[in-house]
Structures are given as C-alpha cells and as structure tokens.
C-alpha cells in the first residue's frame, strides 16, 4: 500500500496492517443493476476474495428467498447473511436464525392502516411474504423477487414476522414517514426495478444492517 493509500485508509478508520476478514455485499445497485443480472466480473471478484480467505456475506434490504437466496448461496453457501435491512439474519445451510421479530401489536396496527388507506403493504418472515394488494406494482415486485404473485390476507402468513414494507410513489413518501410508527425503524430506499416507487422498510427499533452485521461478525 502506498503512502497516499495508507493516508486514505486511515482517514476512514482502516488499518492497513490488519487483514480484511469480512466483506459485505449489497444486491440492488451493487451486485444487480437495472438488467437484473450479475456481471461476470463480480463473480470473479467473489472467487478472488474467497481464495484470500475473506468471509463474504450478503447485506441486503431484500428478503432471503427467491433470487436473493440464490445469490447468497453462490456467494457463501454455509455462512450467515443479512437480509431485510438487518431484520433477517440467517445461516443458509441449516436454516438457523437470529432474526429480530416484530411485536404482534405492531403488525395489527400496520395491517389496519393498510386496509384503511388501500396502501401497498408487505409482511415478511425469514422464508415467506404476503400482501393483499392486487396492484400492478405488487405483481412487478413479486417478479423482481423471483416469486409467484399470489395475494392473500395478511393473517395467512405464519409467524414470526420480522419485517414490514410499504411501497409507495415518491410523492407519498413524506406523508407516510410523518405518520406514527412506534417501535419501528423507518428506512426508505429505492431500487432500479421500480424507480417510480419508494420501498419503506419497517424493522424493530434499533434493528438495521449495522445491527445485523455486528451479530454476524460475532459469529
């Protein structure tokens, strides 16, 4: 490492004398672009990191099933991964979970609000999700996730539920965020597949990607 590189590393808190032990990979806008495919150069870099003994883990707002699970399995089939903005922490090969579950009262309030406003809400466990919405956006999002589109009542999803998600047009975001979301972290994000909409992730208070990565690093 050159003197300039060492100075830059020090400026962001990196110590060039210590080897990198773990690298976290995002999905949308990082591994995947608007094309929905991963470039060969990315897989080449993944293989180089593995050969160097670096632990690789997915760190995504997406759920850990469908297309994202396939990516995570190829990145690290036996390791821990962070999905759903940190709410879902799963080890793929044996299904072990250290996920952060949402309280039942919170779920009931969100479902009531979705039905009152006719807003698109999705509820997630580590392995499944549900929405009652029959809109085009709900259908497209299922396709993006690589899952069948099958609207059901929210009560059909077996617990434990780890995350909820609103999907709204950009012009509705400020009003939505201003609504009470007691006990929740509210994290808006965008994705290349639905650029005209915002994904508003709802996880348990204090739960985000940083929380999940601390759990994974401890493992």
pLDDT in tens, the chain (219 residues): 445 444 444 444 445 566 888 999 998 878 877 677 888 888 999 999 999 999 999 999 889 988 889 999 999 999 999 999 999 999 989 989 999 999 999 999 999 999 999 999 999 999 999 999 999 999 999 998 888 999 999 999 999 999 999 999 999 999 999 999 999 999 998 887 799 999 999 999 999 999 999 999 998
The CB-based long-range contact list for 113-116 (8 Å cut-off, 24+ gap) reads 113/179, 114/154
Q: First and final CA of the chain: distance in angstroms?
A: 29
pTM of the model: 0.80
For the chain, give every domain's residue range: 3-99+209-218, 104-204
Return d(Cα 68, Cα 73) in angstroms, integer: 9
Contact (CB, 8 A) for 93 and 78:
yes
Token pair of 191 as six digits: 């994705």
pLDDT tens sequence across 148-163 = 999 999 999 999 999 9
What is 104-204's CATH topology?
3.30.1240
CATH number 3.40.50.1000 given to 3-99+209-218? yes
**DSSP class of 23:** E
């Amino acid at each position: 490492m050159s003197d300039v590189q060492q100075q830059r590393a020090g400026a962001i808190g990196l110590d060039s004398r210590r080897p990198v032990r773990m690298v976290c990979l995002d999905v949308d806008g990082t591994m995947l672009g608007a094309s929905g495919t991963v470039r060969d150069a990315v897989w080449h870099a993944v293989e180089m990191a593995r050969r160097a003994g670096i632990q690789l883990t997915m760190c995504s707002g997406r759920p850990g099933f469908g297309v994202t699970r396939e990516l995570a399995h190829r990145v690290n089939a036996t390791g821990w991964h962070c999905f759903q903005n940190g709410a879902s922490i799963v080890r793929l090969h044996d299904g072990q979970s250290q996920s952060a579950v949402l309280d039942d009262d919170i779920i009931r309030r969100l479902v009531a609000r979705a039905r009152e406003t006719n807003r698109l809400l999705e509820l997630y466990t580590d392995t499944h999700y549900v929405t009652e919405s029959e809109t085009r956006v709900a259908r497209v999002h299922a396709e993006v996730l690589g899952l069948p589109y099958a609207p059901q009542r929210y009560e059909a999803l077996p617990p434990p539920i780890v995350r909820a998600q609103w999907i709204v047009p950009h012009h509705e975001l400020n009003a939505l965020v201003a609504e009470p979301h007691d006990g929740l972290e509210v994290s808006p994000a965008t994705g290349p597949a639905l650029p005209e909409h915002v994904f508003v992730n709802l996880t348990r208070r204090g739960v985000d990607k940083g929380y999940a990565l601390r759990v994974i690093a401890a493992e």
